[in-house]
A and B are shown apart, each in its own frame.
Chain A
Amino acid sequence: MTAEVTTVPGLSLFVPRTFQVTSTRRETRDTYTLRIRPLEGSSFSFQPGQFNMLYAFGIGEVPISISGVRPRTYDLEHTVRAVGCVTRALVRLRKGAPIGVRGPFGRGWPLEEIRGRDVLFLAGGIGLAALRAPLQYMLAQRANYGQIVLLYGARSPADLLYRTELERWRQRSGLHVFITVDRVDAYWRGHVGVVTDLLPLAERSLDLKRAIVLMCGPEVMMRVAARMLEVHGVTPERIYLSLERNMKCAVGFCGHCQLGPAFICRDGPVFAFPEVQPLLEVREL
């Protein structure tokens, strides 16, 4: 296997392209989806699971998964939760504002390898943002995949992302969706508890002894979920997950995103579970 070598003269590797925000959609109290488009009108292609470095003018740059594209306009979508100064600045951007973009970076989901298979998506919280692009991709070529099930856990009903879209996909695209929350509100009629409690529901639609699992959420959730999946007959090599770390360069130079031998930016963010299983078991690695 020979990797393609990208030689970038001088410092241009670190300079973002300018995009424009075409619209923003508020998903929850602190989470927004930004739709953006290259300013020069040139195209942008990516693999579902890859990420971009989004730059807020004068504030900073953060790695954000590409959450998909908007139908028809093909604007890139990134779902951003406001937790630090850069993400707070990003969600404040309004229509027409310039935004810097470097990317796409990293290794995406193995969507070609798993053609024809049943696929279980397992999402925790904002982790669904990293799973939306592969979901959208698979549903767009529905016939190439078997059963598709999404199990999604959020903290509370108010924290649920993409609610109308998930409902539409459930009705029109043959997606099985099961949602659970940790804390209820007065109107919640659905499941309460951790996301792996929903595994028996998934088993109604697909065979966990053969299905592929794509997973993204807090690391503690993914560690526990991997154990529960094993109990339900999912072998580790059928589990793929997306990891998150601090990143400054996204190309393996800044050192921030290391997890043991792996640079998350370059070797991930998507990994086959056996590649990282022992590393995730070590606290503070």
Chain B
Amino acid sequence: MEKRAHLPNVGKALRMEKRHLQVLLDALRGAGYTVIGPRVRDGAIVYEEVRSLADLPIGWTDEQEKGHYRLKGRGDEAFFAFTTGPNSWKQFLHPPILSLSRARRTENGLQWELPNDPPPRYAFLGVRACDLHAIFVLDRVFTGGQYVEGYYEARRKATFLIAVQCTVAGGTCFCASMGTGPKAPPGADLVFTELADIFVVEIGTDQGAALMAQVPCQPASEVDLASVEGRLEETARSMRRQLDITGLPDLLKRNLEHPRWDEVAQRCLTCGNCTMVCPTCFCFTVEDKTDLAGTEAERVRYWDSCFTTAFTYTAGRAIRQSAKARYRQWLTHKLATWWDQFGMSGCVGCGRCITWCPVGIDLTEEVWAIRQTDRAQREGS
């Protein structure tokens, strides 16, 4: 065995035979992690528990366009030749349904009970560059401000991240124009790139190094590293969509009454699909319920969407009644006011909202249309 000749260090790159990914999966399980990775289910690539290489979508790719997603066989043995699907990692870090507390009415008041389970230890396998950025966005939202959301923080701290850099571009991807991919930003424990016969594995953290020490591999060669760069350049070059982010927050803020909002509202069904598949949309609501006797109550947190009218229900009426107002809120929040609130873009260029919109609304087109008839230009200022 080629094992043990060299202990991997942070910043080093290794080459690993593809079949040895199984050794890493086993090592992660041995270290107490539940590995979550891509699997084929119901005609899509979703994120679920992965135990063996046979679970992975080997030989599959996805065809994505506005309102369109199909899986196709590639006729080869590629492990990660697809892009993002309808799931994102937020469903594990910020679960769609979460019981916050239970209360019982007692003689002298209310008795509260909190769920007290230790956070799950997830290893995410196959985090794309855009989605790694998305996790950093959620970190900023839930742990970067005055209040720190302890539940998210505990889950996030327990998570091991294995990035996989994209060697194909999806039909709705635009990360290259957003500066969020296809190269993974620093922050993952391990960064994989798939070449023809091997994975190149870059070590990002000491935990990553410790795990790779258990996997048979060799130092990556200059040729391997050059191949990685070449693949990433090719991915970026083949990306057809782009979003021009030049002055984008100000562009949207000065065009809040642009006629395009009325136009897109004619097409938008306000279904909220875009907010559900978005890896950074974090909004939630809290619902209360009681048992039939009325002695026990539960508070449950659910993902919510700014596309519902109930979202802004205040003192007897909804503030954003029109579809125009709701679409405008979503897009301007994501691309403009997110900067004011969190110092970063809320969009990472993954393209999910374009693929999973049932009527094929494409935010890159909407921004393009507004830019073409920018108020500043219309008014000649």
Interface residues of A (CB under 8 A from B): 3-16, 18, 20, 39, 57-61, 81, 83-84, 98, 100, 244-246, 248-249, 251-256, 258, 260-261, 263, 266, 282-285
User: Are A13's CB and B147's CB within 8 A?
Assistant: yes
User: Are A15's CB and B290's CB within 8 A?
Assistant: no
User: Are A14's CB and B288's CB within 8 A?
Assistant: no
User: Are A58's CB and B290's CB within 8 A?
Assistant: yes
Residue of A whose beta carbon sits closest to that of B113: A15
User: Are A14's CB and B337's CB within 8 A?
Assistant: no
Minimum distance in angstroms from A109 CB to a CB of chain B: 19
For chain B, residues 304 to 321, give those with C-beta under 8 angstroms from any C-beta of chain A. Answer: 304, 306, 311-316, 319-321
Which of A6, A249, A255, A284 sits near B325, CB closer than 8 Å?
Answer: A284
User: Are A258's CB and B147's CB within 8 A?
Assistant: no
Cα of A284 to Cα of B318 in the assembled complex, Å:
9
Please give me the 4 A-B residue pairs with the lowest Cβ-Cβ distance, nearest first.
A255-B283, A261-B340, A284-B325, A58-B290
Q: Does B264 contact A (CB under 8 A)?
A: no
User: Are A15's CB and B306's CB within 8 A?
Assistant: no
Cα of A7 to Cα of B153 in the assembled complex, Å:
10
User: Are A15's CB and B148's CB within 8 A?
Assistant: no
Q: Chain A interface mostly helix, strand, loop or mixed?
A: loop
User: Are A10's CB and B146's CB within 8 A?
Assistant: no
User: Are B288's CB and A285's CB within 8 A?
Assistant: no
Interface residues of B (CB under 8 A from A): 98, 100-101, 103, 105, 108-110, 112, 114-116, 141-142, 145-151, 153-154, 253, 256-257, 282-290, 294, 297, 299, 301, 304, 306, 311-316, 319-322, 324-325, 329, 332-333, 337, 340-341
User: Are A14's CB and B340's CB within 8 A?
Assistant: no
Residue of A whose beta carbon sits closest to that of B320: A284
User: Which residues from A are CB-within-8-Å of B285?
Assistant: 248, 254, 256
Cα of A39 to Cα of B332 in the assembled complex, Å:
44
Residue of A whose beta carbon sits closest to that of B144: A5
Which of A39, A245, A248 sits near B319, CB closer than 8 Å?
Answer: A245
User: Are B146's CB and A244's CB within 8 A?
Assistant: no
Q: Chain B interface mostly helix, strand, loop or mixed?
A: mixed
Evaluate whether A255 and B150 lie within 8 angstroms (CB atoms) in the complex, with A11-B101, A57-B297, A248-B284 already known.
no
Residue of A whose beta carbon sits closest to that of B111: A18
Residue from B142, B145, B340 having most chain A Cβ neighbours under 10 A:
B145
Residue of B whose beta carbon sits closest to that of A8: B150
User: Are B109's CB and A5's CB within 8 A?
Assistant: no
User: Are B284's CB and A253's CB within 8 A?
Assistant: yes
Which of A59, A61, A246 sits near B314, CB closer than 8 Å?
Answer: A246
User: Are B105's CB and A252's CB within 8 A?
Assistant: no
Evaluate whether A5 and B148 lie within 8 angstroms (CB atoms) in the complex, with A58-B294, A284-B319 already known.
yes
Cα of A200 to Cα of B209 in the assembled complex, Å:
75
Cα of A152 to Cα of B287 in the assembled complex, Å:
36
Cα of A100 to Cα of B111 in the assembled complex, Å:
11
Which of A13, A244, A256 sits near B315, CB closer than 8 Å?
Answer: A244
User: Which residues from A are CB-within-8-Å of B115?
Assistant: 10-11
Which of B109, B288, B325, B333 sits near A20, CB closer than 8 Å?
Answer: B109
Cα of A253 to Cα of B146 in the assembled complex, Å:
11
User: Are B110's CB and A18's CB within 8 A?
Assistant: yes
User: Which residues from A are CB-within-8-Å of B316?
Assistant: 83-84
User: Are B314's CB and A13's CB within 8 A?
Assistant: no
User: Which residues from A are CB-within-8-Å of B337?
Assistant: 258, 260-261
Minimum distance in angstroms from A6 CB to a CB of chain B: 5
Minimum distance in angstroms from A121 CB to a CB of chain B: 20
Minimum distance in angstroms from A127 CB to a CB of chain B: 11
Which of B109, B288, B304 sits near A256, CB closer than 8 Å?
Answer: B304
Residue of A whose beta carbon sits closest to that of B318: A246
User: Are B147's CB and A14's CB within 8 A?
Assistant: no
User: Are B294's CB and A245's CB within 8 A?
Assistant: no
Cα of A253 to Cα of B311 in the assembled complex, Å:
14
Which of B110, B147, B287, B341 sits near A100, CB closer than 8 Å?
Answer: B110
User: Are B257's CB and A282's CB within 8 A?
Assistant: yes
Which of A4, A61, A283 sits near B288, CB closer than 8 Å?
Answer: A61
16 A-B residue contacts at CB 8 Å?
Answer: A5-B146, A6-B147, A10-B114, A10-B116, A13-B147, A57-B105, A58-B289, A60-B288, A245-B314, A245-B319, A248-B286, A253-B149, A254-B283, A255-B283, A255-B284, A260-B337
User: Are A252's CB and B148's CB within 8 A?
Assistant: no
Which of B100, B253, B333 sits near A258, CB closer than 8 Å?
Answer: B333
